[in-house]
Amino acid sequence: MAKYEWDQKKDELNRDKHRISFNRAKEVFEDPFRIEYPGTPNSSNENRAVTVGKVMGRFLIAVVYTLRDTVYRIISARQARNSEIKDYIRKKFEQFEDD
């Protein structure tokens, strides 16, 4: 089972700004069709990646995170951008074509 962590203050700020809690955001990692965008190091050389997937079975969101050993540390969560939604739909249809 995956482990998650986040800064409580950042979670509150994220909820105020994007209306998404980090507790809800962690659901994207359970989506079999999620898309992973490779990360780039930030100013402290921490590699941050983005995952786009569904929460509550219907809303597409993007989660920025870093992996520390085996723990996903959530940095932010927001509504998925149009380009991310298109990538997600494309991947989902490609998966069905392969079956």
pLDDT per residue over 32-62, tens digit each? 999 999 877 666 677 889 999 999 988 999 9
Supply the pLDDT for residue 41.
66
Domains and CATH numbers, the chain: 3-98 (3.10.450.530)
d(CA 9, CA 80): 22
Pull the structure tokens for residue 29.
């990692």
pTM: 0.87
d(CA 38, CA 50): 7
Q: What is the pLDDT of residues 4-17, one digit of tens each?
A: 999 999 999 999 99
Q: What is the pLDDT of residues 60-95, one digit of tens each?
A: 999 999 998 899 999 999 999 999 999 999 988 887
CA quadruple 94, 95, 96, 98: dihedral positive or negative? positive
